[in-house]
A and B are shown apart, each in its own frame.
Chain A
Amino acid sequence: MDAALAVEDLAVRFPGAGCTGDVLAVDGISLAVARGEIQALIGESGSGKSVTLLALAGLLPPTARISGRIWLEGRPLHDLPARARAALRGRGIGMVFQDPAGSLNPVLTAGSQLDEVVTVHQGLRGRAARRESEALLARVGIGDPARRARAFPHQLSGGMKQRVAIAMALAARPAVLLADEPTTALDATVQAQIFDLLVGLVEEERLALLLVTHDLSVAAAVADRIAVLYAGRIVEQRPAASLVVTPAHPYTRALTQAALPFRAAANRDRRLPGLPGSTPAAGGSGCAFATRCPLAVARCRSEAPPLEGHADGTVACWRAGESAP
């Protein structure tokens, strides 16, 4: 297995309290990301994309029941005892969170938080750790790193904070970077800069980036491959370029149509086609999208479609590639 991160049949279940049953948040996801590759995971709120990421990072609360197999650079995490697993994750996986204001400790300077991670992973202390921290800050495009290292998070701009957070994720020199909507909390112009930085890092450091986003246009612009998540399952996984042009799953098609085209300004009265309803809970019988699908037939409601090869990727739909009547 040459993927930096490979996931097979990952399922996450939260036990229900009292009369409510268990909640199945992720229902059998398989993914592989190679070094130098960007895999995007997109879906609506509640589709299980963030839970997938937290499960990979080992950050779900202990009540969550996780099953499936995860390999990190060929080593099976699922076979290891908890302590060894945490150590392997710490070295092999870096994570960038959604809100940089929350992922940095407000009472420690940027430099001292970086120093701690550098100390844990590279065994450097004191001035050596600080030099490495400043090198990391420079690596993520922060000018005058020696001065910024002495700044508290509230003295840094949002984009700068996210750069520091990325530097912290890189401190362990991980193979895999997990990013949970890393620009949602930032301005649009800063968004582009952060993605430029991430794309550059993936190329230069040969990182494998798993990017969670709900923004299809971002995924299409940045990612090599896109996996579309619906109700805890992957419904379509294809190269980014072809997925947005010729979506095969009706859900993906609805997503591409719901994105605002640049031409919209020209004809203002055109309504943006939305998708009525909301994501159902995972784990029902039949195709989870059947209730909202314009193409649904009887078979869709009774039998869940498997993820099968289609065009240049995989699609889970009985009527893959067919267009609406």
Chain B
Amino acid sequence: MTRFARGWATGGRIGGAILLALAAVAVAAPWIAPGDPLAIAGRPLLPPFTDDRFPLGTDQLGRDVLAGLVHGAGASLIVGLAAAAAAIGIGILVGTVAGFFGGVADEALMRLTEAFQTVPTFLLALAMVSVLGASADHVVLAIAVSSWPATARLVRAEILSLKRRDYVDAARLAGMPPLAIAFREVLPGALQPVVALIGVTVGAAILVESSLAFLGLGDPNQVTWGGMVANGRAALRSAPQLVALPGAAVALTVLAVSLLGDGIAARLAPRRDR
């Protein structure tokens, strides 16, 4: 392994460790910060490190900032992962069918993909959540629907280069049904670059989720980091930590996801030509 690849592997371990810690915090949220994180708990605008009950202080309404951060981790991670999983699932399905079957199916699916690509991801997600209404399910759906095209195009390109291999002909001659050949023989070989895309997709999904929440389109009954930034914005001059802390949490999460994704991709890369 080259020094470069080893560097990525270390980064991947760090990213993985951060994500594990975040997941643990999200799971343990009810014990770390019991009660409703949206409830008024104390005096408003308490600065950090001044009151033992609120280590990170309170916001303008007297809500515990630490409790918000801890409970927000789950929302960000779950929405991000679910949206990315759905987007990658749609992308794999569309890309495999388009690439393997070609012809009319390919034309139709690729024009559809391009239609989705011409609309900026965030605007499409924004429009969908505005129409459907703000809830966690709708946010996941909106992010998935707006971010599958990249995966679809990548998978299609990989499938195109793999489908003329002899083992595909061998499977065809052996009488395997075309769908089975596409998904069981060809697709596994096309998945490796998709793994590299997972990190990017999850990171982007978390960012879109936070952005939607910032605009007030997150689930109103859940704390989200984006929502905390939006609330803290009004007190930016007097209490900048209300924006900086949840903002840093988003940045740290996306960084960790991205490091882990690159680490996994670097780990898989040398296997390609063996």
Contacts and interface: CB of A to CB of B under 8 A. Distances in A.
Contacts of B34: none
A171 B174 contact: yes
Interface residues of B, number: 17
Contacts of A120: 174-176
B166 A102 contact: yes
B36 interface: no
A90 B174 contact: yes
A89 B173 contact: yes
A45 interface: no
A70 to B, nearest CB: 14
A103 interface: yes
B170 interface: yes
A90 B184 contact: no
Interface stretch (A93-101, A197-205, A297-305): A93-101
A245 interface: no
B169 interface: yes
A105 B173 contact: no
B111 interface: no
Contact of B174 (A105, A106, A107, A117): A117
Interface string B166-209: 11011111111000100011001100000000000000000000
A233 to B, nearest CB: 25
A37 interface: no
B175 A89 contact: yes
Nearest to A61: B164
B135 to A, nearest CB: 39
A154 B274 contact: yes
A102 B167 contact: yes
B170 A168 contact: yes
Interface residues of A, number: 32
Interface string B103-133: 0000000000000000000000000000000
A172 B172 CA distance: 13
B167 A104 contact: yes
Given A87-B175, A116-B176, A97 B189 contact: no
Nearest to A152: B274
Interface string B143-181: 000000000000000000000011101111111100010
A59 B169 contact: yes
Interface in A144-168: 154, 165, 168
Contact of A168 (B174, B175, B180): B174
Contacts of A172: 174-175
B189 A106 contact: yes
Given A107-B188, A108-B188, A116-B184, A58 B173 contact: yes
B198 to A, nearest CB: 17
Contacts of A90: 173-175
A104 B166 CA distance: 7
Given A102-B166, A116-B184, A154-B274, A57 B174 contact: no
B163 to A, nearest CB: 12
A171 B175 CA distance: 12
B195 to A, nearest CB: 12
B167 A103 contact: yes
Interface in A255-289: none
A105 B175 contact: no
Nearest to A54: B169
A86 B166 CA distance: 17
A105 B169 contact: no
Contacts of A171: 174
Given A169-B170, A171-B174, 11 more contacts: A57-B173, A89-B173, A90-B173, A90-B174, A99-B166, A105-B185, A105-B189, A108-B188, A117-B176, A121-B174, A172-B174
23 contacts: A59-B173, A86-B175, A90-B174, A91-B175, A97-B169, A97-B170, A98-B166, A99-B166, A103-B165, A103-B166, A103-B169, A103-B170, A105-B165, A107-B188, A108-B185, A113-B167, A116-B176, A116-B180, A116-B184, A116-B185, A120-B175, A154-B274, A172-B175
7 shortest A-B CB distances, which residue pairs? Answer: A90-B175, A103-B166, A102-B166, A97-B166, A154-B274, A107-B188, A105-B167
